[in-house]
Amino acid sequence: MKRLQAFRFELRPNFEQQRSMRRFAGACRFVYNKALSLQQTRHAEGAKHLSYAGMCAALMEWKAQPETDWLRETHSQVLQQSLKNLDHAYVNFFARRAGFPRFKRRGRHDGFRYPQGCKLEQHSDRIYLPRLGWCRYRNSRVVSGEIKNVTVSLSGAAWFVSIQTEREVADTVPLPGGAVVGIDLGIARFATMSDGHHVEPRWARRRSRPTCWPSRPPR
């Protein structure tokens, strides 16, 4: 059976990598909010809701416009992942599992996700992030399994990476060891074990005791 597991580490990026991470997070927030505004405008005009593919087509148009051509500096996969997050938010809203999607604010949940393309070198304590290069991290545990996606997030003044992996695990539950003893409940004998031993009921043990005690010998 397949098992998903997340491993979180603190990153140790250099100055240029930190600048790029902030730019990536800002671009993802911008794309998310712009797509959400577009969906709301279409809804007010009575137009059909855009699918994920439709929002990706709009993203290509934004990259071609002079005022938003700076989006091309950000990795395309993390921008598309931001649109996918918005699409999931709408799906949950239509299914009544969550409220209506809200606009993202700067400084709250800043980050971005790579759906693929990341590499991990645990022996050298570094991870490869597309468009950012190799980045050091504080290696505190062994990462097992195949990398499925990588999320980079900002918490306070530190950057963190969450690596989600998938691996095969056994789906059987081990049985406890030791001998097995059967018990047969009865009336004459309270319980008879499969090995021949038996336990008498409490009332039988009381009857086996003497009902009177011998008098004390005369002094």
pLDDT in tens, 39-61: 999 999 999 999 999 999 999 99
Q: What is the pLDDT of residue 170?
A: 79
* Predicted local distance difference test score (pLDDT) of residue 2: 87
Q: Let me know: does 181 contact 47? Beta carbons within 8 Å.
A: no
pLDDT, position 198:
62
Task: Supply φ then ψ for residue 54, to 5 degrees.
Answer: -65, -40
State residue 94's pLDDT score. Answer: 85
For residue 159, give Cα distances in angstroms to 22, 108, 118, 125, 190: 10, 13, 16, 15, 67
Cα 19 to its chain centre, rounded Å, is: 27
Give the predicted TM-score (pTM) of the model. Answer: 0.74
Cβ-in-10-Å burial (0-12, 13-18, 19+) of 45 comes to: exposed
Report pLDDT digits (tens) over 128-141. 999 999 999 999 99
Tell me the Cα Rg of the chain.
33
pLDDT reported for residue 182: 54
Can you give the pLDDT at residue 202? 61
Pair 129, 118: CB distance under 8 Å: yes
Contact 143, 122 (CB under 8 A): yes
Tell me how many degrees the CA angle 207-209-210 measures, rounded to the nearest 5: 110
Under-50 pLDDT residues of the chain:
211-212
Angle between helices 76-94 and 52-64 (to 10 degrees): 140
